[in-house]
Structure 1
Amino acid sequence: MGNMIQIYHMLGHDGARKVIHRMSDTWWHPKLNANVHDYVRWCVTCAQCNSAPTVKMKMQHQPRPTQPFTQLQIDFIKPLPRCRKKEYVLVIVDHFTKWVEDHFTKWAKATASDVAKILMTEIIPRWGFPCFIDSDQGIHFTGKVMKTVCMSLGIKQKFHCPYHPQSLGLIERANRTIKNKLTKQMFSATGKDWVTNLPVVLMSMRSSPTNPHSLSPFEILTE
């Protein structure tokens, strides 16, 4: 069973709870919980890469969405080490399911046109029209093209203070998780190509519950 625990843990170097959740769909063993906790506790990669827990800040109240992909939070992870002419990733998180999307950009500074294009060609055709998009006040989100597209589609934009990133807590946590998992993937002998490792990281996040009593984003979308 040790080899199976290693395989499931290496998908994203998740904590014991998420590994157990993923394994329990297809595996059962009377000592599964104890063995997974022991394995994760002694994972050298996790011990060296995990940072100290941060203090949780009270988030600004927002109406809670009742359907998938009606309220999105968006932001850039920047900059990552340049790889295959890519160093910026636009990350999009659905507030309802916590499903994470990512889209590479090749531009040193993405524009509002670039963000609008990703929205129109990648997000809306697959997930439908969102009602709200939350972001910081970067010019790639506040630019005229992005505002025009959102206004014409009936999408309300909400801009948050750049000096209070906790108001975008969902996307901030997603970005930290992606960076942390990429670091672990590259540290654990899978190479330094984060472009190759990113899909594995997203699979791990999409298949893991966001709290002990919830379904994973994938399970919510497919139930």
Structure 2
Amino acid sequence: MMDWQIYLRLKLAVMCACVSLSWAQNCPSQKHAAAKFTINSHRNQTGHWISQVWLQHSPDSHTVTSPWMVEVEQNTASCKGVESVQLVATLTAPPIRAGPGYELRRGVGYYKIHTEPKTWQEARQICEQEGAHLAVINSEEESKVLQSLFAPVAAKLKVAWAFVGFHDLYNEGQYLTIFDEPLNSSGFYRWVVGQPDNWGGNDRSPGEDCGSIHTNGGLNDLTCTAKVPFICEQELW
């Protein structure tokens, strides 16, 4: 598990015994946190179990919104006519403070440019290990921030591209961010002139399916196995 100051990961497991249609809970004493996480379940009129996940900031928490991510896995079992439901919920929150090497650009985010060239998948994993993600550009202002970070590295390494967080790995030409959201609704969709071109793509080669940024701040598609610098982003807390 990574340092909690860099990456907060909270797991809650809830066992639900459905004989009397009520919850049986045994919770250890806990310290009060700035956020409240609850799971509520009930059976509807058709007999299906409905689970709801709620994440609520306490009244005295910061008003800045944070990109909380909740994943819930549900398993069911039946033993001697007794049904049971197990819900395993994983809550991932942004880091309380930026990790080492991340630079704050006020009003935009924390960024770190990695100068050691990596493939797109390697870059994505490294960013996640740091409690961050490959940078997703949401505005012209953010594009200029990344451009300013990348320009000196590009000049030193004599490269024109750095990996960022989008791709069309699922369907050719349908570009998504690493959050599986359409790139054209991300707030920034300015391509380098002549791009994307899926250079080298044919029946035997996938071509260029991973996203990058040019030294001029525009977007480009690049071969995923190419090794270039990359930019990680941590959300503002």
- Fold-level match, TM-score > 0.5? no
Larger Rg belongs to: 2
* TM-score, length basis structure 2: 0.25
- Which one has the bigger helix percentage? 1
* TM-score, length basis structure 1: 0.26
- Which one has the bigger strand percentage? 2
